[in-house]
Chain A
Amino acid sequence: MAGVPAGAIDCDIHPSVPSVAALMPYLEDHWREQVTIRGIDELNSISYPLNSPLTCRPDWRPATGRPAASIEMVRAQALDPFATSIAIANCLYGIQLLFSEDMAAAFARAVNDWMAREWLDREPRLRASIVVPIQNAEMAVDEINRCAADKRFVQVLLLVMGDTPLGRRHHWPIYAAAEKHGLAIGIHAGSAYHNPPTPVGWPSYYTEDYVGQAQAFQTQLTSLICEGVFTKFPNLKVVMLESGFTWLPAHLWRLTKYWRGLRMEIPWVDRAPGDIVRSNVRFSLQPVDGPPDQASLLKLFDHMQSDDLLLFSTDYPHNQFAGLSAMPDGLPPALVRKIAIENPRATYARLLETVQ
């Protein structure tokens, strides 16, 4: 793995809520009291179990408490060492897992306000995604509209595995709001765990859950394309976060093959799926799957038929690479620059409004 050019835009880092106490000042009275009465001490998802080796790199793991839970940690570990110009904070708190729409909306409001006050106000290199109660599209749109005035929010964050495929029309108000405000839709690894995290049922091991995320991303990509989300919202940018990308060419070959024969079922898909991906969908860099050698990785870039698709990410604090080697070896310098700087700027309209 190779180093990262100075000024890179890190499109996926994960500041964490240190404890539910940190959100208390941002919760409305009713919910603040509920935290106490119900004894809610933890709303983190099991997508990243605290002690899992993947959840935090050993040299980034604090002696006590949650990783990436203070601005000092994030500066010292994620921003300064990589000379990052901008980093987009995607807070993976358990909002999407809740069954109560009201509770999800209340905690989403608290997380977004906490993000603005505790992180964005204090660190000019940070931007963030809006966490929304996906349980109810109307409430999610309210939260997008509430936060959108703050241009430091550049994206709406969804999980790759929820209750229904993301292309389905009941989600469309969220896309309409995002498109209207110039926000990207970020789809991050993780599940609401309302359904098994694999299409074949509940797995036994964490490895199965984590590796299986890639299939969920493929299915969501297929859903967004086939349901016509990009026909309805041609300016919408969707970013697949922590999705991996080595699966993309083979999946597009398959999707294109069957679209050619079944096009008449979804006539609003009037371009080949690969063309739609190249205009509307992007992928974060880390984790880079492990092809056996450099040549195989370079061949993959040929198969993707575009240098525009990847956005630099460290996936901090998740344990995806060692040292500062966040960029795969052997990529041409022009491509490295595109991944690190130009592609993120072209993807996140709001970065251009607030950078400089």
Chain B
Amino acid sequence: MSRHVVATAQEIPQGGRKLVMVRGRPIAIFNLKGEFYGMLNRCPHQGGPMCEGLVTGLRESKMPGEYVYSREGEILRCPWHGWEFDIKTGQSYCDPERIRTRSYPVEVATGQTVVEGPYIAETIPVSIEQHYLVVEM
């Protein structure tokens, strides 16, 4: 395991996302209300590019005709077949016990700590003034 600096925090505004590569793996990073979450950019179903999916909310229902909409912006639908995933945990909604997408914790680190290391800043030039997104892998 090593820690990889993948982007500056400013690059991904709230509600935004960015596709980065970490050790050759495509990771989709999402900004949910200032918190960052990483997800393998490969749907566990057939490999769809998750980063291109529709971000939506969670629909639940106790009875036919009732729609309870919550967690707006926290659910990702794969662009290929519409399977829903919890951006925070990678868990699917169609089969939560068996199907999940790999999730990666994303840490926000100050420029000062990043400059001091030990981080791998593959393509990102770092400076102490910025905040950086760090993925451990």
Contact = CB atoms under 8 A, between A and B. Distances in A.
Interface stretch (B4-12, B56-64, B107-115): B56-64
Contacts of B77: 264
Nearest to B66: A268
A264 B94 contact: no
Residue of B60, B64, B93 with most partner-chain A CB within 10 A: B64
A346 to B, nearest CB: 26
Interface in B67-83: 67-68, 77, 81-83
Contacts of A263: 84, 93-94
A267 B65 CA distance: 9
B77 to A, nearest CB: 8
Contact of B62 (A227, A264, A268): A268
A262 interface: yes
A261 B64 contact: no
Contacts of B62: 231, 268
B44 to A, nearest CB: 11
B64 A264 contact: no
Contact of B64 (A262, A268, A272): A268
Given A261-B83, A264-B84, A228 B63 contact: yes
B116 interface: no
Interface residues of A, number: 17
A260 B98 CA distance: 13
A260 B63 contact: no
A267 B84 contact: no
Contact of B94 (A169, A227, A259): A259
A208 interface: no
A278 interface: no
Contacts of B65: 169, 228, 268
B64 A232 contact: yes
A121 interface: no
Interface string B95-131: 1000000000000000000000000000000000000
A260 B78 CA distance: 11
A260 B56 contact: no
B83 A260 contact: yes
Nearest to A268: B61
Given A260-B81, A261-B83, A268 B63 contact: yes
A272 B94 contact: yes
Interface in A259-299: 259-264, 266-268, 270, 272
Contact of B95 (A227, A231, A272): A272
A264 B59 contact: yes
Nearest to A231: B64
Nearest to B99: A260
A268 B63 CA distance: 6
A223 to B, nearest CB: 12
A261 B82 contact: yes
A262 B56 CA distance: 13
Contacts of B93: 263
A231 B64 CA distance: 7
Given A267-B60, A268-B62, A260 B67 contact: no
B64 A227 contact: yes
Interface string A228-262: 11011000000000000000000000000001111
B56 A169 contact: no
Contacts of B56: 264
A229 B65 CA distance: 11
A267 B59 contact: yes
Contacts of B81: 260-261
Given A259-B94, A260-B94, A272-B95, 19 more contacts: A169-B64, A169-B65, A227-B64, A228-B65, A231-B61, A231-B63, A260-B83, A262-B82, A263-B84, A263-B93, A263-B94, A264-B84, A266-B64, A267-B59, A267-B68, A268-B61, A268-B65, A270-B60, A270-B61
Which 10 A-B pairs rank lowest in CB-CB distance, beginning with the nearest? Answer: A228-B64, A261-B82, A260-B94, A267-B61, A268-B61, A267-B59, A261-B81, A264-B59, A268-B64, A267-B60
6 contacts: A228-B61, A228-B65, A260-B81, A261-B94, A267-B59, A268-B61
